[in-house]
Structure 1
Amino acid sequence: MTLPYPHEVVRTLEFIAALCNGRRAGELESAASLRRLCAEWGFPGASGASRADAAATWGRIPLIEAMWDAERDTAAAMANRVFRESDARPHLVRHDGLDWHLHGLFAGAPLADAIAVDTAMAFVDLVRADDTARCKRCGDDRCERMFFDRSRNRSRRFCSTTCQSRTNVAAFRSRTTAA
């Protein structure tokens, strides 16, 4: 399904979910793991990420997760806070085969700031469209993974078919045991 958002907005939100989920799962502990994830997702400016860059990025994750879980007005205020603190300067760029799109910071900005500003810029589009509810947590009580709901009617509830199946099997067993 095609969402009413530019490709880079959807890609950024899915990258942010992967970043936060990977960090929470203990898969992102080093600068090398951060560089690898950024390379997989095509996030620019991470090829030389140091331990200090990784530590700064990990320090931004609580704010990013809070923005993900926030109500619309709170997400807007948080995005504005990120813009102020990072001295964001949105500008149009074209690179790597991508057509014109917005970058919030100039090349060479600290990686943690670039990730936070890109997240905030993606949230601006969701706030403006009153669509922040697309940023969800898995409906399986045992899972807290984040995901961006691309479904037409915003009905996706689980981060994966594994969690969906686990929840459905548990509900089935509960019904048959009670009967």
Structure 2
Amino acid sequence: MVDIEPRSRRDRYIAICKPLHYGTLLGSRACVHMAAAAWATGVLNALLHTASTFSLPLCKGNALGQFFCEIPQILKLSCSHSYLRELGLIVFSVLIGCGCFVFIVVSYVQIFRAVLRIPSEQGRHKAFSTCLPHLAVVSLFVSTAMFAYLKPPSISSPSLDLVVSVLYSVVPPAVNPLIYSMRNQELKDAVCKLVS
């Protein structure tokens, strides 16, 4: 197996399942296209939500019980019926998120099938150590974000909303660099030395 470190989470499939084709399938042009598509989708989604949210009249004050402006919390302050437009955008965002999640799951099924065919135990361990932490972070993000946006109002409370929003907005970006840096052997040795 060719020892190629994946540059992003989208190219793990090719790095593990088609390692000899990695350079031709994922050249710099393909990486730029993937990054541009991700950025464009995120910016479009944010612009739609921002424009819709700022057009809502607020009649229940302007103080939120959060540390940042969450759309469901802002909708609670609205006194107009135009919040249905924002709910439509949330459904659109959930559909996009579910589509991405299905794509990730299908990719990882293919990755795990390819990894299980690797003859050496060390090769399988290396591939799983790359994939499993990423899958755990993505699962944490998707499950807590879906819970935050799709939970019934009857179980909503300010403290629960705050904890859930921290779990999907702060923890995954904070944990990702830690996961990838712990794959560095020098850092592992330094942490072991520090602990002992």
Q: Given the two structures, how large is their TM-score scaled by the length of structure 2?
A: 0.26
Q: Hey, which of these two has a bigger chunk of helix by percent? A: 2
Q: Bigger relative contact order, structure 1 or 2, given CA contacts below 8 A and separation 6+?
A: 1
Q: Hey, which of these two has a bigger chunk of strand by percent? A: 1
Q: Given the two structures, how large is their TM-score scaled by the length of structure 1?
A: 0.28
Structure exhibiting the larger radius of gyration computed from Cα positions: 2
